[in-house]
Structure 1
Amino acid sequence: MPLFNTEGIVLKQFDLGEADKIITFITRDMGKLRAVAKGVRKTRSSISGLVLPFSYAEVTIYRGRSLDKINRIKVKYSFSPLREDLTRMAYASYMAEFIEKVSVEDDNNRALFSLLLSSFHRLLKAEEISEYNHIILAFKIRILVILGIKPELSSCVDCGQQNNPGSINIFSIERGGLLCHNCSSNHMDGMGGVQKISGESLRIMANIIDSGLKPLDKLKISTQAFEELDGLLDSFITYHLDLRFKSLDFLHMIRDLG
């Protein structure tokens, strides 16, 4: 059918011609979707405020031969505080860029859509930088789970032996998980991509892998554990997904400003 309805979150937009924009959504039913918003840059456009980044909307799409077009759009939740507050915007921008890079057009992945929607709602409720940091940490871990490349924590990625985590553990970025004591001794001799990870960080990661975002409601994360996990996850994402994010520099700048 040339017309179909779905729900979508605006990930980004860019100009097309003199009056139009191409809007990129992550949708509930169709994966990533790009559609033209006709005349949206005109002064009297009725939908210019409906296709802003992070907006969650019901949208009717006309499927064209080369480019889809937005036929109708109705905002369900604007998420305007994520655009109006610089700190929230930095975190939301990183999440949106990540979803845009890993999602596929016409490939339904409702888990990605749900993760972004729930993370945005949590950002709205958060009041402290520490809460924002916990949300972004859980987002990174959960997106790896959804993509099927979650870190291996239960057994050694070299020999397969069951791991017995201690206060200090050895994690291999390249191999994608923990090393046992014997294998870690071999990898520590001149090999890159091997990092120490504390027992606290390991428990937090395992908890979020197993239980999603729910642990955030009660989870206590020390500053040291957050910094350790955040750096490890960034290295893991860069190596296994070969992704780099323009929004990450902005996010780091906001964090440095406090």
Structure 2
Amino acid sequence: MAATPYTVTKGAVLRETETKEADKILTLLTPDLGKIPVIARGVRRKSCRFAAAAQPLAYSEWTLYRKGDWYYANEGATIALFDGLRTDLTRLALGCYFAELTEAVTAEGEGAPALLSHLLNGLYALDTLRKGEALAKAAFELRLLCLAGYEPLADSCAYCGREEPERPMLDVVQGVLRCVGCGRQESGLSLPLCRDSLRALRHILYGDPRRLYSFTLGPEPLGRLGAAAEAFTAAQLERGFRSLDYYKSLLPPEIPSK
């Protein structure tokens, strides 16, 4: 009888589903196999050697074998657990949103090294760099959408061509930048930006991905950028996210401006 062929790969746990008495079904994001379902038998038992590797957001090296449409976990060794997120419920919720959003734009069975790298960098920014949540969220959303083929056009006004649009607006439906007075008839839902939030938007879209989170914004420009990023994500993917709703439920209530 031929030996069962094993596959060794690295992957991040995007989602877990508990099943049977002690098993989990994991959704892993790997660089070579893409998004794959993995059955981890007995992983909920205290005696399981790779229980830590099967936690949500854990990044690990896995030894898998395939049977039909499913992969089965044989071994797992953790590489990064992002422990800082697990002691901060709000940041953990945001990290889970990053994972759910990444899962939504990733096709099964197709290699996804860039998407995996982006997810890990986003979790690292929250966990180790301790970047502000609003800044990290906006940068993560916009760059992820670019990697998934939804990049907005933000180099100039889509209608008059001005590089610095007058009172810039981001049309989140068409994915274009415009002046406040341009394209009103053709435009879908548009959100206002400002000089600083537009500069940050261009940094996220066109800058070095290794320096994605290396910018700062004041509260008002950051609020504009964050609102535009979230609306653009929702409009392009045409869906909501439970993890985002939960994250937002943990935030302190906004104080109305006088």
Q: Show the 5 A alignment for 1:188-227.
A: 193-211=189-207, 212-217=209-214, 219-227=215-223
Question: Which structure 2 residue ranges, 5 or more long, are not aligned?
Answer: none
**Does residue 29 of structure 2 align to residue 18 of structure 1?**
no
**Does residue 95 of structure 2 align to residue 95 of structure 1?**
no
Amino acid at match of 2:135: H
> What are the superposed Cα offsets for residues 187-211 of structure 1, whole Å, 9 maximum, x if unpaired?
5xxx651232212111110011111
CA contact (8 A) 2:62 2:76 kept: yes
Equivalent residue, structure 1, for 2:149: 148
Q: Look up the SS of the partner of 2:67 in the other structure.
A: coil
Tell me the distance in 2 between the aligned counterparts of 1:166 and 1:20: 55
**1:136 positional shift:** 1.5
Tell me the distance in 2 between the aligned counterparts of 1:186 and 1:192: 8
Tell me the distance in 1 between the aligned counterparts of 2:169 and 2:216: 22
**1:98 positional shift:** 0.7
**TM-score between the two structures when normalised by the length of structure 1:** 0.88
Q: 1:124 aligns with which of 124, 127, 130?
A: 127
Amino acid at match of 1:165: E
Report the more deviating stretch, 117-126 or 26-35.
117-126
**Does residue 79 of structure 2 align to residue 55 of structure 1?**
no
Sequence identity (%): 28
Equivalent residue, structure 2, for 1:235: 231
Tell me the distance in 1 between the aligned counterparts of 2:212 and 2:78: 30
**1:182 positional shift:** 5.8
Amino acid at match of 2:29: I
Q: Show the 5 A alignment for 1:20-59.
A: 20-59=23-62
Distance 1:153 1:40, change over 3 A: same
Tell me the distance in 1 between the aligned counterparts of 2:88 and 2:231: 28
Runs of 4 or more above 6 Å deviation: none
Amino acid at match of 2:177: L
Distance 1:244 1:62, change over 3 A: same
More helix by share: 1
CA contact (8 A) 1:3 1:62 kept: yes
Report the more deviating stretch, 74-83 or 54-63.
74-83
Tell me the distance in 1 between the aligned counterparts of 2:87 and 2:98: 16
Q: Look up the SS of the partner of 2:191 in the other structure.
A: strand
CA contact (8 A) 1:138 1:213 kept: no
What is the number of equivalent residue pairs in this alignment? 250
CA contact (8 A) 2:157 2:164 kept: no
Amino acid at match of 1:236: F
Tell me the distance in 2 between the aligned counterparts of 1:86 and 1:112: 24
The two structures, once aligned, show a CA RMSD in angstroms of 2.2
Equivalent residue, structure 2, for 1:106: 109
Q: 1:250 aligns with which of 237, 246, 254?
A: 246
Amino acid at match of 2:18: D
**Does residue 164 of structure 2 align to residue 165 of structure 1?**
yes
**1:173 positional shift:** 2.0
CA contact (8 A) 2:138 2:230 kept: no
**1:38 positional shift:** 0.7
**1:103 positional shift:** 1.1
Q: Show the 5 A alignment for 1:81-92.
A: 81-92=84-95
Q: Look up the SS of the partner of 1:76 in the other structure.
A: strand
Question: Which structure 1 residue ranges, 5 or more long, are not aligned?
Answer: none
